[in-house]
Chain A
Amino acid sequence: NAGVTQTPKFQVLKTGQSMTLQCAQDMNHNSMYWYRQDPGMGLRLIYYSASEGTTDKGEVPNGYNVSRLNKREFSLRLESAAPSQTSVYFCASSGGLGIINQPQHFGDGTRLSIL
């Protein structure tokens, strides 16, 4: 039972490069989320997808795009990476529609460094 799987686990980019972070869940959850975690801080929501076919902005969406490819997969794209986007990125999912009465389950994270 894999739960939430993120790839890659580590990545180093140069400023201006683009890349896509992948996330897949096998729990048949409707809602999926992308967060970033910076040193000494809690997680901040970048984007979320309440259900297949919908996406919406969170607290810190600038510089990112997302795609809900199907019910299982939710990707995060950096079009032109900037040093300020150096962070640890977490994908999460929850059952039902949204998080009412539902716990969130997290992947192991992607550590992204932008030089």
Chain B
Amino acid sequence: GIQVEQSPPDLILQEGANSTLRCNFSDSVNNLQWFHQNPWGQLINLFYIPSGTKQNGRLSATTVATERYSLLYISSSQTTDSGVYFCAVAYNDYKLSFGAGTTVTVRA
């Protein structure tokens, strides 16, 4: 299967700061998704983004499929942004392979 590496593993931010999370993958993909797991364990789909750029409020994501990476941008971070961010890529029509995640802590 495809290898998915996320960096950094941990990130501590002061409220209001901006940050960038990175996802590298080892092979061509036809599906890439970003998820946020909140401190209560719920997994929320943030973006479906196999290529290009998308924005949703203070969050945006860019995937450069030809170079096998994706970036998730958090601007003006808030304490509610805390949690674990996962990148997941598809290696066939039905299977997503997840990275180990980036744990984000936003301090007030």
Give me the interface of A with B, judged by CB distance under 8 Å. Answer: 31, 40-45, 48, 50, 56, 58-59, 88, 90, 97-106, 108-109, 111
Total interface residues on B, CB under 8 Å, equals: 23
Contact A100 B90 (CB under 8 A): yes
Please, could you name 10 A-B residue pairs with CB atoms under 8 Å apart, sorted by A? A42-B4, A45-B96, A88-B41, A99-B93, A99-B94, A99-B95, A100-B31, A101-B31, A106-B44, A108-B42
Q: Which of B76-108 contact A (CB under 8 A)?
A: 86, 88, 90, 93-96, 98-101
User: Does B1 have its Cβ within 8 Å of any Cβ on chain A?
Assistant: yes
Contact A106 B93 (CB under 8 A): no
Q: Which residue of A lies closest to B87 (CB)?
A: A42
Contact B100 A41 (CB under 8 A): yes
Q: Which residue of A lies closest to B9 (CB)?
A: A40
| A43: contacting residue among B1, B30, B45, B86, CB under 8 A | B86
B44 surroundings in chain A (CB, below 8 A): 106
Contact B94 A50 (CB under 8 A): yes
Contact A104 B45 (CB under 8 A): yes
Contact A98 B94 (CB under 8 A): yes
* Min distance, Cβ B106 to any Cβ of chain A, angstroms: 20
Q: List 19 extra interface pairs beyond A88-B41, A98-B93, A100-B31, CB under 8 A.
A: A42-B98, A42-B99, A42-B100, A43-B98, A44-B98, A48-B94, A50-B93, A56-B94, A90-B43, A99-B31, A100-B90, A100-B93, A102-B48, A104-B33, A104-B45, A104-B96, A108-B41, A109-B42, A109-B43
